[in-house]
Chains A and B, each alone.
Chain A
Amino acid sequence: MIADHLPALQVVVPLLAAPLMMLVRRGTFAWLVAVAVSWTTLAIAFALAVKVREVGVISYAMGNWPPPWGIEYRVDALNSFVLVLVSLVASVVAPYARTSVAAELPRDQHYLVFTMFSLCLAGLLGITITGDAFNLFVFLEISSLSTYVLIALGRNRRALLAAYQYLVLGTIGATFYIIGVGLLYLMTGTLNLADMAQRLRDVHEMRPVLAALAFITAGVGLKLALFPLHFWLPNAYAYAPSAITSFLAASATKVSVYVLLRYYFLIFGVPLVFGRLPMAEVLIGLSVLAVVSASLVAVFQRDLKRMFAYSSVAQIGYITMGMGLANKAGMTGAVVHLFNHGITKGAIFLLLGGVALRVGSTSLERVAGLAKTMPLTSFGIVLGGMSLIGVPGTAGFISKWYLVLGAIEHGYWGLAVLLVVSSLIAVAYVWRFVEVAYFREPEPGAARLAEAPGSMLIPAWIMVAACVYFGLDTSLPLDGARAAAALLLGGAP
Chain B
Amino acid sequence: MSFPGHYTYWVTIFLMIAGLYIVIARGNLVKKLIGLGIFQTSVYLLYIAPGKLIGGTAPILAASFHTYSNPLPHVLILTAIVVGVATLALGLAIVVRIREAYDTIEEDEILEKDRAEEAEE
A residues contacting B by CB (< 8 A) are: 134, 137-138, 141, 145, 148-149, 152, 157-158, 160-161, 163-164, 167-168, 171-172, 175, 178-179, 182, 185-186, 191
Contact = CB atoms under 8 A, between A and B. Distances in A.
A145 B87 contact: yes
Interface residues of B, number: 30
Given A178-B80, A179-B16, 13 more contacts: A134-B76, A137-B80, A138-B79, A145-B90, A164-B91, A164-B98, A167-B90, A168-B23, A171-B91, A172-B23, A175-B43, A182-B43, A186-B50
A179 B43 contact: yes
Contacts of A148: 90, 94
Given A164-B29, A164-B95, A172 B20 contact: yes
* Interface secondary structure of A, over-half rule: helix
A152 B47 contact: no
A352 B80 CA distance: 38
A171 B87 contact: yes
Contact of B102 (A145, A157, A179): A157
B66 interface: no
Given A168-B32, A175-B43, A160 B101 contact: yes
B53 interface: no
A152 B98 CA distance: 10
Interface of B: 16, 20, 23, 29, 32-33, 36, 39-40, 43, 46-47, 50, 73, 76, 79-80, 83, 86-87, 90-91, 94-95, 97-98, 101-102, 110, 114
B119 to A, nearest CB: 13
16 contacts: A134-B76, A137-B80, A141-B83, A148-B90, A149-B90, A152-B97, A160-B94, A160-B97, A161-B110, A164-B91, A168-B36, A171-B87, A172-B39, A175-B40, A182-B43, A185-B73
B76 to A, nearest CB: 6
B100 to A, nearest CB: 9
A182 B110 CA distance: 37
A157 B36 contact: no
B47 A182 contact: yes
A175 B46 CA distance: 12
B94 A152 contact: yes
A138 B94 contact: no
A185 B39 CA distance: 19
B9 to A, nearest CB: 11
Nearest to A149: B90
Given A152-B94, A161-B98, A179-B46, A172 B87 contact: no
Q: Which of B20, B46, B95 has the most CB of A within 10 A?
A: B46
Kindly list the 5 A-B residue pairs having the minimum CB-CB distance in the complex, ordered from nearest: A157-B101, A141-B83, A160-B98, A164-B94, A182-B46
